[in-house]
Structure 1
Amino acid sequence: MSRARSRIAGVISVLGELLITAGVVLALFVVYSLWWTNVLADRAAARMSDDVRDGWKANNAPQGLDTRDGIGFLHVPAMKNGEVLVKRGTDPKKLNDGIAGYYTEPIASALPWQPRGNFTLAAHRDGHGAKFHNIHKIKEGDPVVFETKDVWYVYKVYKTLPKTSKYNVDVLDPVPKESGKTKPGRYITLTTCTPVFTSDYRYIVWGELVREERVDRERTKPAELR
């Protein structure tokens, strides 16, 4: 073999090794992003959830108090993701802990116990707990339940918007007119990124409060969760 051919073969060999290495690194990054961050987030969320429930048992977290631990738990049977702790704010770094956050800006969220308004929530769709990964499985008529220390708030989904601009903040309005509503009420809005594995657009789900149930001593779940 000539020297030229030998050099070419050497270069090709090095490039091949580099490509293999790059492929391995990329694969590890994907595993980290889509699996390991979920593991870490679920662990963090479990610890925070335990703190909230321990506080409730100790009777030191009255209804409506916005503590550092969280205000309650979101239950969406259609998403099959268990209970989701809800805390203040939608900073991605905080949502990385496997929770959902309620908006404080650009339009401040109402809270469930307030007489009017839109309870607006965000969570990751992929990685970091991916609590809204299955948002596309929610259909009109499905229940969405928010649990606080003293009250179960039961909502019914009435509209979904599979794709809208990430700059569309009108979906967070106290009266979400884009959903078809024209009068003040007690609404809930779930938001997350779409399509899967991107953050190009937003997926929206709207619901309306249908009833409240007081929490009994055994914390019996509403029929929608049984």
Structure 2
Amino acid sequence: MAVRGRPVRGGPVRLVVRTFSELCLTVGTLIVLFVAYVMFWTGVKAAEASDGQIDRLQDTWARSPLAAPAPGPEAETAPRAPGAYEPGRPFAVMYVPRLGRDWDWPVLEGTGTKTLQKGLGHYAGTARLGETGNFSVAGHRRTYGDPFKDFPRLRPGDAVVLTDGATWFTYRIVNKPYRTVPGDIGVIDDVPRKAGFDGPGRYLTLTTCEPEWGSSHRLIVWAHLDATQPVADGRPRALSG
């Protein structure tokens, strides 16, 4: 006659505990993978995308040179083609020495999600590069290459240099990063009064998210056009240090 085995004590409880433990392990693994994706993989993809945008710009500039305006901060920029910048397409490269010797990012038209995954985004409707008004640009603080990760380090007097392939435009920052809410659209007005500007000029606004891993607020810096020079004359002094 077969011997009946002893019943396993706490069988259902053990099953619940084991299932819960496996669930926690699975969720933990997914969280780790998601963090790795956000912190690493989006950066890899952004680097590839931004490099591709810069390569596209350089090809365009080589095939269709843009005539440089007369030197000086009052010079107007001749458009490469009639009309506004093309949505989602690059038209300039930005350099900010304070953020690193190798810091360079393409500037694309628009601030949509897909656009900001490839580089910095120009607020549609604000001034064109180098023209009278407020040339306004947004960028991610974190993820997609972290272009503005060190935004809080910016200080008055820092240079923000851009090129459209024919001209270098050097802007000078006038304030420490200013914290505000997303709805404060006055920061990109033609004359941003909170920057202390009191009349028309050639201005630049940079915006990013605050806090570092959130988006409840925005950080803002403003700048004014300080100098221009043709690309053919070499790199501007602000980039030669």
- TM-score where L is the length of structure 1: 0.90
Aligned AA for 2:126? S
- Aligned residue pairs total 219
Report if the CA contact (8 A) 1:38-1:130 is conserved: yes
Matches within 5 A, 1:5-20: 5-20=10-25
Mark the runs of 5 or more structure 1 residues left unpaired by the alignment: none
Residues 1:64 and 2:79 aligned together: yes
Aligned AA for 1:222? P
CA distance in 2, matches of 1:122, 1:2: 66
Following TM superposition, by how much is the alpha carbon of 1:60 offset from its aligned partner in structure 2, in angstroms? 4.9
Report if the CA contact (8 A) 1:117-1:184 is conserved: yes
Counterpart pick for 1:173 among 186, 189, 204:
189
Following TM superposition, by how much is the alpha carbon of 1:130 offset from its aligned partner in structure 2, in angstroms? 2.0
Counterpart pick for 1:53 among 44, 53, 58:
58
Matches within 5 A, 1:26-105: 26-60=31-65, 63-65=78-80, 66-67=85-86, 69-80=89-100, 82-97=103-118, 99-104=119-124
Report if the CA contact (8 A) 1:52-1:69 is conserved: no
CA distance in 2, matches of 1:162, 1:195: 12
Rg larger for = 2
CA distance in 1, matches of 2:91, 2:114: 18
Return structure 1 stretches of 4+ with deviation > 6 angstroms.
Answer: none
Matches within 5 A, 1:72-151: 72-80=92-100, 82-97=103-118, 99-104=119-124, 108-114=125-131, 116-151=132-167
> Residues 141-170 of structure 1: CA distance to partner in whole angstroms, max 9, x if unpaired?
111111112111111110133421011101
Following TM superposition, by how much is the alpha carbon of 1:119 offset from its aligned partner in structure 2, in angstroms? 0.6
Report if the CA contact (8 A) 1:136-1:162 is conserved: no
SS in 1 for 2:10: helix
Mean Cα deviation higher: 123-132 or 171-180: 123-132
Following TM superposition, by how much is the alpha carbon of 1:4 offset from its aligned partner in structure 2, in angstroms? 6.1
- TM-score where L is the length of structure 2: 0.85
Report if the CA contact (8 A) 2:156-2:176 is conserved: yes
CA distance in 2, matches of 1:183, 1:23: 55
CA distance in 2, matches of 1:216, 1:61: 11
Residues 1:210 and 2:215 aligned together: no
Counterpart pick for 1:159 among 153, 158, 175:
175
